[in-house]
Structure 1
Amino acid sequence: MSWFRTVVIKSFTKHSCPSKFTSFPRTPFVSLMNFSSEPTHEAKKSSEIVQYSGLGPTRPNEKPRVVVLGSGWAGCRLMKGLDTDVYDVVCVSPRNHMVFTPLLASTCVGTLEFRSVAEPIGRIQPSISTAPGSYFFLANCKGIDTEEHVVHCETMTDGADNLPPWSFKISYDKLVIASGAEASTFGINGVKEHAIFLREVSHAQEIRRKLLLNLMLSDVPGISEEEKKRLLHCVVIGGGPTGVEFSGELSDFIIKDVHERYSHVKDYINVTLIEANEILSSFDVRLRQYAMRQLTKSGVRLVRGVVKDVQSHKIILDDGSEVPYGLLVWSTGVGPSPFIRSLEFPKSPGGRVGIDEWLRVPSVEDVFAIGDCGGFLESTGKQVLPALAQVAERQGKYLSGLLNRIGKDGRGRANSLGGIDLGDPFVYKHLGSMATVGRYKALVDLRQSQDTKGLALAGFASWFIWRSAYLTRVISWRNRFYVAVNWATTFVFGRDISRI
């Protein structure tokens, strides 16, 4: 097989890379080389000069390149606002869509379908699909070389068993880190192995499959009463908006659908919400009390406690009590991802990438950080903003305007920001918070902070405001149509309980 390997390598080296790409040394066709036990001298010599493609520095006749790491709220709002007549846009992310997280809990029980909360990147910024210098790469960033203005990436090949990941490089003129955060486990043993987070569409799909599987297994003859109770015990850890909304959706699902379609096991299914402090701690105290009453009325058991250990079928609390479960959903906030922790940038309190008032990483040139992965440095005198969608979206909008302005002034190239007036710094004003608690009830808190007064509503009117607000906030008209149709279908026919 050595002659075949040599022919393949020679034929590969004859083809030049496209003009938009530059080349970096690498040995290709590793899987082909493994067919021969000992490569020939000629093959070894050829493999040393084989190249693989990457995006090199932009040329003077090309537009400056903005590289965006991530496809969350911050990154997508930034890409949507960037002027593609000024910049080429390259997005690097392990997912090719944005998740509309406020409605993600509804997909877990079939109130909405998964496509309703996922917006493809190509629809948010069409130039990524059409412009010759703009791209989307399904990959993870593994490192940043700020001296050379290069990011090191590795492809995502999940589900492609015969395709190992490979590395490539991208040169940037401006780099925006918007890679988000990861769910906080607080170092508790067993969380990653046994709990399901609720941050991605894949998480919602896993929750839905697990929930329906447990419902069907509990109806099988021969299962013990104790095991049936365990399988149908749904435990939610974390009393923030995500945990409360999921608990409310789950209680609605039980009352309206399980009682009708799984009548044999309807008396066994239960929901427990465990929180170390107060649920919805950022909301007005009256709204918190209303939420507690409403959840309790819906059958959700509220427990105050701290999880110490997570095992395959039960969790251990700080008081030593054991809580068996069939489904465990973990929603206790977020923290810096391993990638963010690996970056040798100054960090803000909490471990995020440190930024100044203009969302720049001040220790390096042409690097910005927005969303959950960035936080104000202590030297700015500003507090680190909460990890909220509206914070990330507002930062993305601000930074797109800033980059457009400096790009039109001819400062879009690398190392061209010296001495430029960046204008007004970023200022965040909280618009309020909303959360649904099930049974056509919701909370609306329009205070700008916990220490100020403002409008606070609860009940059906708040639920109507909640639905109306999020329907208008869904990114595209296509998804707004999906959401409206799903809501109407669920209201008339009930939730879809197919396990696909």
Structure 2
Amino acid sequence: MNAGSSFFQRASAAFRRYPFLPKALVIVTISGGGLAASTQTNLLGTAYADAGEGEVKRKKVVVLGTGWAGMSFLKTLKDPSYDVQIVSPRNFFVFTPLLPSVTVGTVEARSVVEPIRKIVRGKKFDVQFKEAECYKIDTDKKKVHCRSSQESSLGRSAEEFSVDYDYLVIAMGARSNTFNTPGVVEHAHFLKEIEDAKKIRRNVIDCFERANLPSVPEEEKKRLLNFVVVGGGPAGVEFAAELHDLVTEDLFKLYPHLKEYVNITLLEAGDNILNMFDKRITAFAEEKFKRDGINLKTGSMVVKVSDREITTKEQSTGKTVAIPYGMVVWSTGIGTRPVVTDFMKQIGQTNRRVLATDEWLRVEGCTDIYALGDCATINQRTVMEDIAAIFSKADKNNSGTLKVEDFKEVIHDISERYPQIEIYLKKNQMKGFADLLGSAEDGIEINIEKFKKLLSEVDLQMKTLPATAQVAAQQGAYLADCFNRMEICEKNPEGPIRFRGTGQHRFRPFRYKHLGQFAPLGGEQAAAQLPGDWVSIGQSTQWLWYSVYASKSVSWRTRISVVTDWVRRFTFGRDSSRI
């Protein structure tokens, strides 16, 4: 019996060490002249839980945030050797691209959210969620200090606690950037969270109901029904378009006598709206807004917001203009959350806008902390940092000079390591570095100094990744894949500079793949800029937008709910109830 017990102990230890073995195994031993059979079950769930001193323990992964980056990381993570703790002030994920639709009732709020516990349900490892906000990260003790989002029903202050981690994933997103403009926080609406969208929806109806009262003078009606949108990016433009559709398609039918007082103003500090899109899309959007009667004011920088007026400075004339308003929606970019700012000071990343990470999404200066999404940016390696190594690998005969044919042999590996080189080649419609260095027929040979001069222009092509859901989702999936193969990553996460004959990367660095972007412009028209410089504008593009956004919803419940909302809106119009 002792021999059998010893065997079972060794077998259990094996399962604890290798959790990828099957969940059920029948072990048959011969003990005392008889057969003894036992079924080992649920080993994935109990082996680590019962591990004693000296046994292999699960590593603790703490995820801060349930936005696009955090959700994508959690959905893709599969390795059962982790204990995962999620800390976030909201217990759900929001499909943020549809928030402008929520503000006007085209889509209901519950149709774009999914409880985070449902997303991680069924995982083969322990996942716990704490509805709380992280207010401090202690890298020395490897703890995150949190404060509960739920205040005690007895009136006591919110509960505070700490969570230990082996690996920390910071995916806290960002807050709206006010650029320290006076009055914005007190008087403007933002469009970052589901609660923001619901407040905007109620406020729009409030403005119409107040203007409808018989005692309100005409000037006050004009003020109440002047809706100002600050920011000509995708979110601001889409909200202005959605608001215009709500007013013209639904509210004018309910408040016909208020039609002459309604005005929508879009303020943009730059020369054009949708600057990140192709110029054809920008021109079409501006022309459409003028046709629709949306008051588009470019070159207008907001300098102050009061409870009744928004003050702008016109760049063309230098004059200040006061615009009375009923509601202001602020959509002008992102800013860093205070806890991230404090953490950056703690690790020596001062004078930065967001956390800096390497190409493997690890926070620079930290070994076990990763950051992704809007709260971080990849500090890509510049070509000039490794110019000597690149030159020496291409210069096979150590002649001190370089011919084109030598460099062409390593161009693929170099482009993979330095994405700005590939961008440079595509932008200049080059097939290879021969165009940069000179043709092979010319027999040009260059030394390292000329080589530096040629490549210095390439580093200028480096760009920070945009703060979009698409980037955050790809980073979350990439990091989870990295964690699924963490043993490889820990041995040599980046490896040597990848040249043929000198070794390979143990794990590829993160590379963003742009899949295109949409700009809904109202009136069942949208614009799309897809890979390959393909631009599409019109009603067919709007239907493509419907298809893509429905398919990208996080669950079948939200997909069906969103499509149902669209059908309801087409059939019955938008609901104008103040709820």
TM-score bucket (shorter structure): 0.7 to 0.9
Q: Return the match for 1:71 from 48, 66, 69.
A: 66
In structure 1, C-alpha distance between the alignment counterparts of 2:290 and 2:257, rounded to whole Å: 23
Contact 2:151/2:159 (CA < 8 Å) preserved in 1?
A: no
- What's the secondary structure of 2:485's corresponding residue? helix
Q: Return the match for 1:370 from 357, 369, 372.
A: 372
Percentage of pairs with the same residue: 41
Contact 1:349/1:384 (CA < 8 Å) preserved in 2?
A: no
Counterpart residue number, 1:351: 353
Which entry has the higher C-alpha Rg, 1 or 2? 2
- What's the secondary structure of 2:515's corresponding residue? coil
In structure 2, C-alpha distance between the alignment counterparts of 1:426 and 1:260, rounded to whole Å: 51
- What's the secondary structure of 2:367's corresponding residue? coil
Q: Does 1:211 align with 2:204?
A: yes
Q: CA deviation at 1:164?
A: 1.7
- What's the secondary structure of 1:307's corresponding residue? strand
Q: Return the match for 2:307 from 305, 308, 312.
A: 312
Contact 2:79/2:483 (CA < 8 Å) preserved in 1?
A: no
**C-alpha distance 457-121 of structure 1, shift in aligned 2 (>3 A):** same
Counterpart residue number, 2:474: 394
4+ aligned runs moved over 3 Å, structure 1: 58-62, 158-161, 346-350, 378-383, 417-422
Structure 1 length normalisation: TM-score?
0.82
**C-alpha distance 78-346 of structure 1, shift in aligned 2 (>3 A):** farther
Which deviates the most, 454-463 or 148-157?
148-157
Counterpart residue number, 2:517: 433
Counterpart residue number, 1:495: 574
- What's the secondary structure of 1:111's corresponding residue? coil
Counterpart residue number, 1:10: none
Which deviates the most, 60-69 or 164-173?
60-69
Q: Does 1:237 align with 2:230?
A: yes
In structure 2, C-alpha distance between the alignment counterparts of 1:270 and 1:487, rounded to whole Å: 26
Counterpart residue number, 1:172: 165
Deviation string for 1:447-496 (max 9, x for gaps)?
A: 4xxxxx61001111111111111110011000000000000000000001
Structure 2 length normalisation: TM-score?
0.71
Contact 1:84/1:127 (CA < 8 Å) preserved in 2?
A: no
Q: Does 1:190 align with 2:183?
A: yes
The one-letter code of the counterpart of 1:287 is: I
Q: CA deviation at 1:324?
A: 0.7
In structure 1, C-alpha distance between the alignment counterparts of 2:547 and 2:200, rounded to whole Å: 26
Contact 1:157/1:163 (CA < 8 Å) preserved in 2?
A: no
Deviation string for 1:150-189 (max 9, x for gaps)?
A: 1111111269572421211111111100001111101100
1:450-465 → structure 2 map (5 Å cutoff): 454-465=533-544
Which deviates the most, 253-262 or 381-390?
381-390
Contact 1:73/1:98 (CA < 8 Å) preserved in 2?
A: yes
**C-alpha distance 70-108 of structure 1, shift in aligned 2 (>3 A):** same
**C-alpha distance 116-163 of structure 1, shift in aligned 2 (>3 A):** farther
Unaligned runs of 5+ in 1: 1-57, 412-416, 448-452
- What's the secondary structure of 1:85's corresponding residue? coil
- What's the secondary structure of 1:141's corresponding residue? strand
Specify which structure has the higher proportion of helix. 2
Deviation string for 1:32-90 (max 9, x for gaps)?
A: xxxxxxxxxxxxxxxxxxxxxxxxxx984542121101111001100111115222211
1:35-54 → structure 2 map (5 Å cutoff): none
In structure 2, C-alpha distance between the alignment counterparts of 1:465 and 1:479, rounded to whole Å: 18
1:46-195 → structure 2 map (5 Å cutoff): 60-83=55-78, 85-126=80-121, 133-157=126-150, 162-195=155-188
The one-letter code of the counterpart of 1:384 is: T
Contact 2:66/2:93 (CA < 8 Å) preserved in 1?
A: yes
Counterpart residue number, 2:527: 443
In structure 2, C-alpha distance between the alignment counterparts of 1:298 and 1:459, rounded to whole Å: 15
Which deviates the most, 184-193 or 141-150?
141-150
Q: CA deviation at 1:275?
A: 0.3
The one-letter code of the counterpart of 2:67 is: G
Q: Return the match for 1:290 from 284, 295, 299.
A: 284
Q: CA deviation at 1:134?
A: 2.0
